């Protein structure tokens, strides 16, 4: 069991027992570790103590941030900000495939792809001639999603290359520019580019996001576009929550969404 899996297990426990405000002894026992070992592991992973982390997961925390979310997003959009990542600044240039490129399915391409560990569990990463084209958290080494997205591409599988890409995205260090290339409708592209401008530690609702892109009646369509995001973490769809402040679902698991948000909130 890796560090993320241990933390995810504790997040699930906290979801079920948050009203009890479990102490360090209870959480350590649930993780199967001594109190000292658990405290060190958790603090190293999250940057805060388990007690502070628990406070980051409360619905009230989300509601407060959501109430500030529209102005935060508007300010970011107005300033033309690119996306700063939680671990370090990430400048993402997002380009979309043309209809012809989508129809070709990646014919003539070589996509370098593989599996790598991240602070939030294992992922599959793919990089093609036009940029990063796939980033998904996975439970097993399953190729099907990336191969379905680019069915006529030639894949060169290299976990070493994937680990190098993951290090550039997730590890602490200097700001890293990333060029991303996605299959997208014009509407999806507008939504994903807006997501790139939500600062870490901020959350917005689907309604706020719809208004920010000039489509105030399109909350449901915005939700569909958010759910279709092909680049986990890099395009931060985890920063979109429900109007009520409830965290809501996530393509790569609700536990992981809570872990991503709490990790960002702990540093904001």
Tokens representing 71? 């102005």
Assign residue 32 a region (left: φ > 0; alpha: ψ between -120 and 50; beta: otherwise): left
Cβ 255 vs Cβ 8: under 8 Å: yes
The residue count for the chain: 268
d(CA 184, CA 165): 23
In degrees and rounded to multiples of 5, residue 19 shows phi and psi of -70, -20
- Choosing from 56, 124, 133, 237, the catalytic residue is 237
Could you tell me if 65 and 54 are in contact, meaning their C-beta atoms sit under 8 angstroms apart? no
Pairing of strands 110-118, 240-241: unpaired
123 is catalytic: no
Residue 90 exposure: Cα atoms within 13 Å on the Cβ side: 27
First to last CA, the chain: 28
Catalytic residue numbers, as ranges:
237
């Amino acid at each position: 069991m890796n560090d993320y899996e241990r933390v995810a297990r504790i997040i699930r426990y906290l979801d079920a027992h948050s009203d009890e405000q479990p102490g360090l002894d209870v959480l350590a026992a649930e993780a199967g570790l001594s109190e000292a070992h658990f405290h060190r592991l958790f603090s190293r992973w999250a940057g805060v103590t388990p007690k502070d982390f628990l406070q980051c997961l409360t619905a009230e925390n989300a509601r407060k941030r959501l109430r500030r979310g529209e102005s935060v997003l508007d300010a970011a959009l107005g300033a033309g900000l690119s996306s700063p990542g939680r671990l370090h600044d990430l400048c993402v240039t997002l380009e979309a495939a043309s209809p012809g490129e989508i129809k070709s399915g990646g014919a003539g391409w070589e996509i370098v792809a593989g599996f790598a560990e991240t602070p939030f569990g294992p992922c599959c990463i793919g990089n093609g001639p036009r940029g990063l084209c796939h980033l998904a958290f996975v439970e097993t080494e399953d190729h099907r999603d990336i191969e379905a997205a680019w069915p006529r591409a030639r894949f060169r599988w290299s976990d070493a290359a994937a680990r190098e890409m993951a290090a550039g995205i997730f590890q602490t260090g200097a700001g890293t520019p990333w060029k991303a290339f996605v299959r997208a409708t014009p509407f999806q592209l507008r939504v994903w580019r807006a997501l790139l401008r939500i600062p870490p530690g901020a959350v917005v609702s689907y309604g706020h996001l719809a208004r920010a892109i000039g489509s105030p009646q399109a909350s449901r369509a915005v939700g569909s576009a958010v759910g279709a995001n092909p680049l986990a973490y890099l395009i931060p769809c985890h920063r979109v929550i429900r109007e009520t402040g409830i965290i809501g679902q996530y393509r790569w698991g609700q536990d992981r969404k809570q872990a991503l948000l709490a990790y960002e909130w702990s540093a904001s």
